[in-house]
Structure 1
Amino acid sequence: MTRAVKRALKYRFYPNPEQAAELARTFGCVRLVYNMALQARTEAWTLRQERVSYNTTSAMLTAWKKTEELAFLNEVSSVPLQQALRHLQMAYTNFFAKRAKYPTFKSKKKSRRSAEYTTSAFRYRDGRLTLAKMTEPLDIVWSRPLPGSASPSTVTVSQDAAGRWFVSLLCDDVIEQAPATATGVVGVDAGLDSLLALSTGEKITNPRHERRDRAALARAHRNLAKKEQGSANRARARLKVARVHARITDRRRDHLHKLTTRLVRENQTIVIEDLTVRNMVNNHSLARAISDAAWRQFRTMLEYKADWHGRTLVVVDRWFPSSKLCSACGALAERMPLNVRSWTCRCGRTHDRDVNAARNILAEGLSVIACGGGVRPQRESSRTGRSSAKQEPLGQPRESPSFRAGRIVNHAPLLRAGLEILAERLSTCWGQRRRTPTATA
């Protein structure tokens, strides 16, 4: 079974001085057009209560190009400028849909330097990509081939803070949806001592990428602090700091890609816990470690890969007491501080805190699949536009409760696993009850 998806492949390239100058001008013009259109739309609504659409800003761009002050906008390709207006329109759409905050102006120092080209603004032939306003193709390092005979529909050129140039090509790809190779179902609990704990009892070590380069990062920041503002030495020192950060980010992303790919290939159903990372980083004692673990990035990768490969991803409610609940008898402990890594239930079972939480998350996820309960509705995902509580393949209608109940027979292995967990809990509770002496009058 296969699945057709849109996939962006990112490559590094090395522009010559003329290409670098042309792209730098394009980045500046894109930022200027975006900011001017945002200012025009904001003033129109603030002063005149008037809504400005994308078509109006496109007409404004044409008029801007005819002025003497903004005539330099004609020196770069018009497609990235039009795409900037479309990005602004999408930002407003997300704002009115309450998926994002009000659009903000792009900063020359802090904003991402990028430009998007559509098919009319580039030429791709025989593995050579040439952008508009350029005479020579880009020197791209093809670390992997494009899928099949695919031709890119959109090209995005960007430059990161470390000075590296990247090109992202959006292509049509076909994903082979192979069956799961291992357990079939797994519960995942995210942590700091162990990055992930699986319901199978396996613990995945936290690499702590930021801690490995903490000394080099501190040394680079000290050198940056000593340099004079606006000097060339400060620019070089800032570049060294950015390169350390880029090395940490690349290692973290690579590790998460390998980890999520393995989970998706081995399991048909994956159950995770909904974590509010934005609130958790307010704990200043753990903020650095939580940010280094990148739980949100892990979930994002898991969501789109599960959708690609036809897997079921269930997200358990953030208030579900996975750590305090005994996975054997179902008893709930009163308190469970973070320093308690193992505990013994009154039924006599000793639990590892993280593995026990993963098993409880799995059991709760199985109940969600069987009954549709136990999960609080989440806000829509920005990638799929659907609720992230339970991910279903795209293109299928929303199921009614009766239809979902009719589908339970299709989840026989999952229900069997849930019944086994329930039977184990009942047998444990019954054995504990028989061992308890009867009270006498």
Structure 2
Amino acid sequence: MQRCQAFKYELMPNGETQRHLRRYAGSCRFVYNKALALQQASHEAGEKFIGYVAMAKHLTAWRNGTETPWLKDSPVHPLQHALKDLDKAYQNFFAKRADFPRFKRKGSGDSFRYPDPKQIKLDQSNSRLFLPKLGWIRYRNSRDVLGELRNVTVSSKDSKWFVSIQTQREVELPTPQATTSTCAERSRSIGIDLGIARFATISDGTYIEPLNSLKAKAAKLAKYQRRMAHKQKFSNNWKKAKANVQKIHTQIANTRRDFLHKATTTLSQNHAHVFIEGNCSRACNCQSLSYA
């Protein structure tokens, strides 16, 4: 069975590389928004939908034109992939799988993708990655990359840059440990009831206490929020104070995410079946329960 998996790492770029990363992400965002505006103008004029092939010709004109010659400084494949993302967003909208595509905003989900694995080099022994027009970039090598490299996505979050390396490899097809469905024969199965006072109550009588990640950082968060409120909006000092507030929010989110990952990992590793919102001791209605 083929398995596609992404390995995410934090990049460690220098100042010049960070400027290039911001420039490339901005170029991809500009191409996406310009193509979306062109699609909307074409629709209002009563013309047909512009496909990816026709839109790619517009991209060539934008890169060679006099209004946006700076697009040549960015690698062409991420720009083309931005058009593919827009085309996919429209296809999902036409199939009623998603809402109408929206314009991208600076600082919100800035990212770009290198789709061609032939242009990418991965040196795991030295914890570095080669990307076109960026050169070798070091990353925090927390685990080995398994499988054949397929594409690389570079993204920004909270003033940090990350790289997601997607691979593909052959793995053995997992086989279930048990095929019975009665409560008496499901000795390794548990039911979980999510709550507020208790994060999760398990059918064997145990429970998991909730984690209030905001409470631990509330005093520090309020301190920096007061500092931010006393600064002139959009000034340099205001931006520095805002960065401190965003850093604390990131720590709160990371603490909550770490708690959820550890709780779910412990449950999945110690039990064969996990039934959500179930209670096998009171009613044998396991066939109607959802499980993971």
TM range (shorter): 0.7 to 0.9
Cα distance in structure 1, aligned partners of 2:291 and 2:199: 23
Over the aligned positions, Cα root-mean-square deviation in angstroms equals: 2.5
Q: Which residue of 1 aligns with 2:251?
A: 247
Aligned residue among 35, 38, 57 for 1:37: 35
Q: Which amino acid aligns with 1:55?
A: V
Question: Which stretch of the first structure deviates more once superposed, 33-42 or 185-194?
Answer: 185-194
1:5 counterpart residue number: 3
Structure 1 residue 120: Cα displacement: 4.1
Q: Is 1:171 aligned with 2:167?
A: yes
Distance 1:178 1:358, change over 3 A: same
Q: Which residue pairs with 2:129 in the alignment?
A: 129
Give the whole-Å Cα distance in 2 for the aligned partners of 1:49 and 1:152.
40
Mapped partners of 2:6, 2:28: distance in 1? 21
| Match of residue 200 from structure 1 | 204
SS in 2 for 1:201: coil
Q: After TM superposition, list the pairs within 5 Å mapping 1:69-84 onto structure 2.
A: 69-84=67-82
What corresponds to 1:61 in structure 2?
59
CA offset digits 1:105-139 (Å, max 9, x no partner): 01114x2111111214422245431111123x111
The offset of 1:265, in angstroms, is 2.1
AA aligned opposite 2:162: F
The answer on 1:158 being equivalent to 2:162 is no
1:140 is displaced (CA, Å) by 0.7
2:260 to 231, 256, 259: 256
* Corresponding pairs, count: 281
**AA partner of residue 287 (structure 2):** S
Residue in 2 that maps onto 1:48: 46
For the pair 1:213 / 2:217, whether they are aligned, the reply is yes
Shift of 1:44: 1.3
Q: What SS class does the counterpart of residue 212 from structure 1 fall into?
A: helix
| Deviation for aligned residue 1:269 | 2.5
Unmatched runs of 5 consecutive residues or more in structure 1: 274-356, 369-374, 376-388, 392-441
- Post-superposition Cα deviations, 1:138-160, rounded to whole Å, max 9, x if no partner, equal 1111011112xx23211111111
Equivalent residues of 1:188, 1:358 under 8 A apart: yes
| Offset at residue 232 of structure 1 (A) | 1.0
Q: Deviations over 1:303-355 (max 9, x none)?
A: xxxxxxxxxxxxxxxxxxxxxxxxxxxxxxxxxxxxxxxxxxxxxxxxxxxxx
Distance in 1 of aligned mates of 2:26 and 2:281: 52
In structure 2, the CA distance between the partners of 1:361 and 1:154, relative to structure 1 (3 Å rule), is farther
Whether contact under 8 Å (1:123, 1:130) holds in the other structure is yes
Larger radius of gyration: 1
Rounded Cα–Cα distance in structure 2 between residues aligned with 1:362 and 1:75 = 65
Normalising by structure 2, we get a TM-score of 0.87
The amino acid that maps onto 1:90 is: K
Alpha-carbon deviation of 1:177?
4.1
Which residue is equivalent to 1:297? none
Q: Alpha-carbon deviations, 1:168-220, whole Å to 9, x = none?
A: 11112547848669943222211121111112221111011122212222222
Change (3 A) 1:360 1:235: farther
Greater relative contact order structure (CA < 8 Å, 6+ sep): 2
Closer/same/farther in 2, CA of residues 361 and 145 from structure 1, 3 Å limit: farther
**Contact 1:180-1:266 within 8 A present in 2 as well:** no
TM-superposed CA distance for 1:8, in Å, is 0.9
TM-score by length of 1: 0.59
Task: Give the Å deviation of 1:46.
Answer: 2.3
Task: Select the residue among 106, 114, 117 that pairs with 2:114.
Answer: 117
The alignment partner of 1:188 has SS state of strand
Paired residue type of 2:133: K
Q: 1:361 to 1:11 in 2, by over 3 A?
A: farther
Q: Which amino acid aligns with 1:260?
A: T
